[in-house]
Amino acid sequence: MTTQTAPTAADTPITPAADRRASFIGLPENIARATATGGGALTVVSAFLAWTWTSAFPGDLTVYGYPGGLQWLVLVAGVLTTLFGLASYGVKGLGWLVPAGADAAIKLSALAAFATAWYTIGAISFQLGGLVNLEPGGYVAALATLAALIGALALPFDRPDTLPADPEDSGLDQFKHNASNGWTVFKGGFAATRTPAPARVLPAYAEILIITAVLALGLLVFTYGITTDYDELFLGFLLTAGLGFAAIGKAGLIARVSALSARHRNVTMVGAFVAAAAFPFTQSDDQYATIGVNILIFATVALGLNIVVGLAGLLDLGYVAFLGVGAYAAAMVSGSPSSPFGLHLPFWAAMLVGAVASMIFGVLIGAPTLRLRGDYLAIVTLGFGEIFRIAVLNLDGISGPDVTNGSAGISAIPNLNIFGFDFGAEHSIGGFTLGRFANYFFLMLLVTLVVVVVFRRSAESRIGRAWVAIREDETAALAMGINGFRVKLIAFALGATLAGLAGAVQAHVTYTVTPEQYQFAHAIPPNSAFLLAAVVLGGMGTISGPLIGGALLFLIPNKLQFLSELQLFAFGVALILLMRLRPEGLIANRRNQLEFHEKDEKDDAPATLTKAGA
Structure confidence at residue 173 (pLDDT): 34
Contact 47, 75 (CB under 8 A): yes
Q: How confident is the model at residue 90 (pLDDT cuts 50, 70, 90)?
A: confident
Structure confidence at residue 198 (pLDDT): 53
If you average pLDDT over residues 75-98, what whole number do you get? 89
Residue 610 contacts by C-beta under 8 Å, 6 or more apart in sequence? Answer: 6, 167
Q: What are phi and psi of 157, to 5 degrees?
A: -110, 155
Domain end position, chosen among 500, 524, 548: 524
Beta-carbon neighbour count of residue 5 at 10 Å? 10
Of 71, 85, 236, 58, which is closest to residue 152 (Cα–Cα)? 85
If you average pLDDT over residues 165-185, what whole number do you get? 36
Q: Mind giving me the DSSP string for 241-253?
A: HHHHHHHHHHHTH
pLDDT at 253 over 60: yes
Structural domain of residue 78, as residue ranges? 24-155+198-238
Cα 393 to chain center, whole Å? 34
Residues 85 and 218 in one domain: yes
| Tens of pLDDT, residues 545-589 | 888 888 888 888 888 777 767 777 777 787 788 778 777 778 876
Query: Is residue 270, in this structure, part of any structural domain at all?
Result: no
pLDDT at 600 over 70: no
pLDDT at 165 over 50: no
Beta-carbon neighbour count of residue 129 at 10 Å? 9
Structure confidence at residue 200 (pLDDT): 64
Residues 433 and 498 in one domain: yes
Structure confidence at residue 532 (pLDDT): 87
| Tens of pLDDT, residues 333-383 | 988 888 888 888 888 899 999 999 999 999 988 888 888 877 888 888 888
Query: Is residue 517, in this structure, part of any structural domain at all?
Result: yes
Structure confidence at residue 167 (pLDDT): 36
> Which position has the higher pLDDT, 466 or 173?
466
What is the tally of structural domains in the chain?
2
What does the alpha-carbon distance between residue 552 and residue 538 come to, in Å, rounded to a whole number? Answer: 9
Structure confidence at residue 199 (pLDDT): 56
Structure confidence at residue 80 (pLDDT): 95
Domain end position, chosen among 524, 544, 560: 524
Of 458, 540, 96, 452, which is closest to residue 266 (Cα–Cα)? 452
Cα 404 to chain center, whole Å? 36
Query: Is residue 7, in this structure, part of any structural domain at all?
Result: no
| Tens of pLDDT, residues 184-201 | 333 333 333 344 445 567
| Tens of pLDDT, residues 407-450 | 888 988 988 888 888 888 888 887 788 888 889 999 999 999 99
Identify the DSSP state of 37.
H
Q: Which of 92-101, 208-217, 401-410, 593-602 has the lowest mean pLDDT?
A: 593-602
Contact 125, 133 (CB under 8 A): yes
Structure confidence at residue 597 (pLDDT): 59
Residues 333 and 461 in one domain: yes
Residues 325 and 217 in one domain: no
Structure confidence at residue 48 (pLDDT): 96
Structure confidence at residue 553 (pLDDT): 85
Query: Is residue 85, in this structure, part of any structural domain at all?
Result: yes
CA distances from 218 to 174, 223, 274, 275, 381 (A): 46, 8, 12, 8, 36
Contact 151, 110 (CB under 8 A): yes
Contact 585, 539 (CB under 8 A): yes
Task: Write out the H or E segment, with its range, that includes residue 536.
Answer: helix 528-538
Residues 456 and 308 in one domain: yes
If you average pLDDT over residues 72-85, what whole number do you get? 95
| Tens of pLDDT, residues 389-418 | 999 988 887 877 888 888 888 988 988 888
Residues 232 and 375 in one domain: no
Domain end position, chosen among 494, 524, 554: 524
pTM for the model: 0.80
Query: Is residue 184, in this structure, part of any structural domain at all?
Result: no
Q: What are phi and psi of 300, to 5 degrees?
A: -65, -40
> Which position has the higher pLDDT, 280 or 184?
280
Query: Is residue 15, in this structure, part of any structural domain at all?
Result: no
Residue 70 contacts by C-beta under 8 Å, 6 or more apart in sequence? Answer: 59, 61, 116, 119, 120, 123, 232, 233, 236
Q: How confident is the model at residue 182 (pLDDT cuts 50, 70, 90)?
A: very low
Residues 340 and 229 in one domain: no
Residues 311 and 421 in one domain: yes
Structure confidence at residue 495 (pLDDT): 92
Identify the DSSP state of 612.
E
Residues 300 and 203 in one domain: no
Of 302, 277, 269, which is closest to residue 443 (Cα–Cα)? 277
| Tens of pLDDT, residues 460-512 | 899 999 999 998 888 899 998 888 889 999 999 999 999 999 999 999 998 88
Query: Is residue 173, in this structure, part of any structural domain at all?
Result: no
| Tens of pLDDT, residues 533-553 | 888 888 888 888 888 888 888
Query: Is residue 268, in this structure, part of any structural domain at all?
Result: no
Structure confidence at residue 66 (pLDDT): 92
